[in-house]
C-alpha cells in the first residue's frame, strides 16, 4: 500500500508540473498514470491529493477539468479536507453552468430542436453550432453535479462556502432552459443547517421548536419528525423504529417506513414528501409547519436522499400553550 501511495502521489506531482507548464502531452500522460495508480493508493494518499488536484482546476482545460473535479470529490469521500477543495470546485462548477446556459441559448439561436443528451459526447457538428467551451460546459454537467454534491455533504462547506446561492441560481436557469432537473445538486444547495423549525400539531393544539440540519428531502424530515415527536412521547401515533431513524441520520441503507402525518403549510396547502425542507414557508423569519392526520396510508423506504450527508433533527423545547396559540393564529385550515 505504501508503494501504491508513492506511485499515486508521484503521478499527482507529475500532473501538477505538466499543468503549470501547460504541457498538454505530459499532462495527459500523468493523468493516465494518476487514474491507473488510484486503486491502490489508500486513504492517506487521497487525503493529500484532494486539495492539490482541486487547486489545479483553474489551469486545467474545460474538457478534462470536470474529470479532475470528480477525482477530487472522490478524494474528499476518502477523507480529504472538503473545505480546502470546495472553493475551487464550486467556482469551476459555476463557470460550467454559465457555459451550459450559453450552450442552451446558442442551440436555440442556431435552429433549436432537442438538446443533445448529457450522456453523449460532443460532436464536431455540435461544437460548430455552439462553440467548444459552451459545449464542454453542457456535456460535463453530470460530472460537476457529482463533484459538487461530494463537497456539499460536508456541513462546514455548506455553512461557509461563498457563491452557493449564485450556483443555485445558475442551476435553475439551465434547468429552465433545458428541461433537465439537476435535482441532486439543487437539493444539496438548498440543504439547511441549524435551521429553526416550529411545528404545530393541529389535533392536539401543541407546538414544538426544533432545529434541523443536513436533511435532504421531506421523506427524511417526515420520518425524523415522527421519531422526535411520536417516539419522544409528545404525540400519539406510530413511532419509527430505531433502524428507521438510524438510516435517516447516519446509518447506511434504507428501511421500510410508514407515514405518520400530513405535512401542511401555514396557508393550508400540502407540503409533499418529494420536496425538500425549504418548501416549509418562513413566517416571521421562522419556518412553520403544521402536522395533520395522514389522509391515506403511505409507505416508502426510509433513508437519506444524500447517503454521504448526516441528517439531524433536535427538539429544542415544547412550546407553552400561549406561544403555541400565537403560532396557530398564523395558520389557516387545511385544504383538501
Q: What is the pLDDT along the chain (336 residues), one digit of tens a residue?
A: 455 789 999 999 999 999 999 999 999 999 999 889 988 889 999 999 999 999 999 999 888 999 999 999 999 999 999 999 999 999 999 999 999 999 999 999 999 999 999 999 999 999 999 999 999 999 999 999 999 999 999 999 999 877 899 999 999 999 999 999 999 999 999 999 999 999 999 999 999 999 999 999 999 999 999 999 999 999 999 999 999 999 999 999 999 999 999 999 999 999 999 999 999 999 999 999 999 999 999 999 999 999 999 999 999 999 999 999 999 999 999 987
Set of cell numbers at residue 205: 393544539
Domain spans of the chain, in order of start: 42-189, 195-328
pLDDT number for residue 156? 96
Please report the pLDDT score of residue 162 as a whole number: 79
Amino acid at each position: 500500500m505504501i508503494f501504491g501511495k508513492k506511485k499515486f502521489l508521484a503521478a499527482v506531482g507529475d500532473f501538477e508540473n505538466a499543468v503549470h507548464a501547460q504541457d498538454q502531452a505530459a499532462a495527459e500522460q500523468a493523468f493516465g498514470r494518476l487514474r491507473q495508480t488510484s486503486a491502490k493508493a489508500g486513504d492517506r494518499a487521497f487525503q493529500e491529493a484532494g486539495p492539490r488536484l482541486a487547486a489545479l482546476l483553474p489551469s486545467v482545460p474545460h474538457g478534462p477539468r470536470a474529470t479532475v473535479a470528480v477525482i477530487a470529490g472522490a478524494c474528499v469521500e476518502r477523507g480529504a479536507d472538503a473545505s480546502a477543495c470546495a472553493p475551487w470546485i464550486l467556482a469551476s462548477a459555476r463557470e460550467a453552468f454559465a457555459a451550459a446556459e450559453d450552450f442552451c441559448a446558442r442551440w436555440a439561436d442556431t435552429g433549436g430542436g432537442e438538446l443533445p443528451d448529457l450522456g453523449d459526447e460532443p460532436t464536431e457538428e455540435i461544437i460548430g453550432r455552439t462553440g467548444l467551451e459552451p459545449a464542454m460546459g453542457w456535456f460535463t454537467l453530470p460530472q460537476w453535479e457529482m463533484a459538487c454534491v461530494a463537497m456539499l455533504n460536508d456541513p462546514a462547506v455548506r455553512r461557509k462556502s461563498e457563491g452557493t446561492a449564485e450556483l443555485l441560481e445558475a442551476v435553475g436557469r439551465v434547468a429552465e432552459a433545458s428541461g433537465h432537473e439537476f435535482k441532486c445538486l439543487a437539493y444539496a444547495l438548498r440543504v439547511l443547517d441549524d435551521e429553526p423549525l416550529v411545528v404545530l400539531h393541529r389535533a392536539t393544539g401543541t407546538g414544538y421548536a426544533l432545529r434541523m440540519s443536513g436533511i435532504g428531502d421531506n421523506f427524511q424530515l417526515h420520518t425524523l419528525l415522527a421519531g422526535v415527536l411520536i417516539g419522544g412521547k409528545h404525540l400519539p401515533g406510530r413511532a419509527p423504529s430505531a433502524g428507521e431513524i438510524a438510516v435517516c441520520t447516519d446509518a447506511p441503507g434504507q428501511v421500510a417506513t410508514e407515514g405518520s402525518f400530513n405535512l401542511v403549510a401555514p396557508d393550508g396547502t400540502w407540503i409533499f414528501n418529494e420536496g425538500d425542507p425549504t418548501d416549509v414557508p418562513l413566517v416571521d423569519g421562522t419556518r412553520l409547519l403544521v402536522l395533520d392526520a395522514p389522509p391515506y396510508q403511505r409507505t416508502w423506504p426510509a433513508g437519506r436522499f444524500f447517503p454521504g450527508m448526516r441528517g439531524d433533527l433536535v427538539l429544542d423545547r415544547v412550546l407553552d400553550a400561549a406561544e403555541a396559540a400565537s403560532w396557530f393564529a398564523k395558520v389557516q385550515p387545511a385544504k383538501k
